[in-house]
Amino acid sequence: MVLVVLDHDGNKLRKGTLEALTRARRLAEGLGEKVAGVLLAEEGAPLEEARKYVDILYTATLGPYTAERWAAGVLAAAKEGAKAVVVPSSRQSRTYLGRVAYALKAGLLEDTLDSSLEGGEVHATRYAYLNRVTQRVKAPLPVVLTVKPNTTPLAEPLGTSAEVVPLSVPQVPTVEVLERVAEEKKGVSLTEANVVVTGGRGMGGPEAFKLVEELAALLGGAVGATRAVVDAGWRPYGEQVGQTGKTVQPALYIALGVSGAVQHLAGMNKSKYIVAVNKDPEAPIFKHADYGIVGDVHHVLPALIEAVKKLKD
Amino acid sequence: MKFVAVIRQVPDGESRLRIQEGRVDLSGATLILDQMDEYAVEEALRLKEKHGGEAIVVGFGPERAEEAIRTALAMGMDRGVHVVFEGFADPVAVAEALVPVLQEEAPTLVLTGGQQADWDSQALGAALAEGLGVPVVAWTTVIELEGDTARAKHDLDEGAEWVRVRLPALFTTQQGLNEPRYPTLPGIMKAKKKEVRKVQAEVRPKVVLLSEEIQEKARLGRILDGKDPVAAAEELVRLLHEEAKVI
């Protein structure tokens, strides 16, 4: 079988899961194998929805997420005979899959843009060197691969309802979760957004981000921030785009008052279109921009908002 | 107590990468101690300064990677172990090669960077933890030792959480955990004399690197003058709507 880790938000499968399912089905077809899903939950999970997408569904309720518990859950399902484990890429999945790959003695292909079966091996493309290099890699089976968001068409339901198989997951030594520090969630998620509007140091302070939020909302997008902004405490870490934050690849990336440090570029340089607004014409961001305005962001941003509103009317 | 930082040497993010025969050629690149691993080195030093014991740097990579180990020694680490391997090794294979070395050292805490700047991989810490049979706290921003446990804060995909973990444990490090110190001149002089034990790595690669290419997307570079912000903004929105068709 090809095993898919069905990532969800407690109610619904995430979009990334539907991409992973598409990849898994392609591999399963080549291998002549079934597609199995594993649904791990703290409590509550979209069981009925998940049954529509796979041939077999393994489930376990594990308590709060920890890398050890989730690794043990995926391993318990994988040991039912997985030739490949396909997982939507997230910071969490990429953390515990190192454990899974090590335990299975499997090749680990992280954050893949595509994947295919060639001569019984899995070939994949991924980025490396802070997103600057495209690598072609291969690994023999068994393989563990994570699917980069927004790279793959979404799977359709199969029109069947899979058999549910509860897993017995061994207790493992793990961390004790003391306290969750939730982040206020607004609008679309940063990594899945089609438009990302990021503010940098040039925004001058946290108040100016109200306008960044307004532009993002107008465009149906998400707000991003640079490391300097997060370090200064103007925005939460969850919004940080870059090497030490999130990697995004939207159709449109708007960088406002962002200078364009390499570590920031690593998080967004694969965006389809990049727009920069900065008063310094020498800012490195302009070398990576499709469109830009050399000007004071405090004057340009309100004008941009008005211009978008006008377009919408 | 024994604090181990696992490090690698990587090209500086600003340095120019070249491709030779389908592979990244690092011969002309500036190579540095991975900046994510610097946080691991700094934290090992701080923990040792506070709680006593020994701070050891374990480096993986070719002969030249000893420079990165010497950098960590110049920052203040007590001694180094260099697990020597030339060529591409995937993170799971690297972990397999490092586990026996770490088991021999029997550290209280193992620290390593949350993501490697060459392979863009986040797997090394978790794979090491699995090999060592210890819990992992990934993307850590606070570590406090309390007896035989540690209390730590780390980032999740959304938000963060506080955890308690029994030691030994492994932590992956990142921005926000600390501000890494610079090696001082006396530190650099001392580092030259510190021990770096060489171990030949036994590596069983699981992933084969087929080819690499630099794909800098050609950008349009249409930069407008924003002296008249309203006109510039309207023109930009027109371009995004009519030309790029993204809004």
Give B190-236 pLDDT, tens digit per residue.
999 999 999 999 899 999 999 999 977 789 999 999 999 999 999 99
Question: Mapped to the 3 state alphabet, what secondary structure does B135-176 carry?
Answer: CEEEEEEEEEEECCEEEEEEECCCCEEEEEEECCEEEEECCC
Q: pLDDT category, A184, cuts 50, 70, 90?
A: low
Whole-number Cα distances in Å, B191 to A204, A211, B60, B183: 42, 51, 18, 10
Which of 95-154 (B) contact A at CB < 8 A? 95-96, 114-115, 117-131, 133-139, 151-153
Question: Does A110 contact chain B (CB < 8 Å)?
Answer: yes
Asked whether the beta carbons of A51 and A162 are under 8 A apart, the reply is: yes
Cα–Cα distance between A17 and A13 in angstroms, integer? 6
Task: Give percent of chain A with pLDDT exceeding 90.
Answer: 88
In this prediction, residue B58 carries a pLDDT of 98
Cα–Cα distance between A80 and A74 in angstroms, integer? 10
To probe the interface with B, which of A108, A113, A299 has the most B CB atoms within 10 Å? A108
Note down pLDDT in tens along chain B; length 247 residues.
999 999 999 999 878 889 999 999 998 899 999 999 999 999 999 999 999 999 999 999 999 999 999 999 999 999 999 999 998 999 999 999 999 999 999 999 999 999 999 999 999 999 999 999 999 999 999 999 999 999 999 988 888 999 999 999 999 999 889 999 999 999 999 999 999 999 999 899 999 999 999 977 789 999 999 999 999 999 999 999 999 999 9
What residue ranges do the domains of chain A occupy?
2-166, 195-312
CB proximity list for A104: less than 8 A, separation 6 or greater? A75, A78, A85, A142, A144
A144-169 burial, b if ≥16 CB within 10 A, otherwise e?
Answer: bbbbbbbbbeebeeeeeebeeeebeb
Q: CATH second-level architecture of B2-200? A: 3-Layer(aba) Sandwich (3.40)
Asked whether the beta carbons of A51 and A164 are under 8 A apart, the reply is: yes
**pTM for this model (two decimals):** 0.91
Q: Which CATH superfamily is domain A195-312 in?
A: TPP-binding domain (3.40.50.1220)
Contact (CB<8Å) B158/A183 = yes
Three-state secondary-structure class, residue A288: helix
What residue ranges do the domains of chain B occupy?
2-200, 215-246
In this prediction, residue A244 carries a pLDDT of 80
Question: Does A267 contact chain B (CB < 8 Å)?
Answer: no
In this prediction, residue A185 carries a pLDDT of 63
CATH level 3 topology of A2-166: Rossmann fold (3.40.50)
ipTM over cut 0.90:
yes
Cα–Cα distance between A123 and A84 in angstroms, integer? 12
